[in-house]
Amino acid sequence: MSFLENLFFGNVDPQARTVKPGSRADKLRTFITDHWPGIENALPDEQRGVLERIMDAQGELDTISELDSFIVGFRLGAAFTYDAFVNTDTPYRDLMKKL
């Protein structure tokens, strides 16, 4: 199946990735999950609710940033492809085309 067919049928999921065990991301995630309950339990209910809303807002902001990075990366890739395969502008003229 071609890439376009896979895209059409929903088989392309650029976010379908896992964190590598022992990586920096894995260590950060582990640190957060290990310490989150202690912080939650140390806060009064009202502050716990504020903290939860802050974390939800951060998650939403992360999603917006990830979407922006995906769009910018896709545009850069498309521009690269266009320049490499379509754009024929060069500083010099190709004399071989006349033969």
* Residues spanned by the domain of 42: 20-84
Using alpha carbons, select from 27, 38, 32, 31 the residue that is nearest to residue 55: 32
Tell me what pLDDT residue 93 has.
79
Residue pLDDT, tens place only, 76-88: 999 999 988 888 7
Using alpha carbons, select from 13, 59, 55 the residue that is nearest to residue 36: 55
Q: How many domains does the chain have?
A: 1
Residue 27 has pLDDT above 90, yes or no: yes
The answer to whether the beta carbons of residues 9 and 65 sit under 8 Å apart is no
Residue pLDDT, tens place only, 3-21: 889 888 999 887 788 999 9
The answer to whether the beta carbons of residues 7 and 74 sit under 8 Å apart is no
Domain presence at residue 91? no
What percent of the chain is modeled with pLDDT above 70? 97
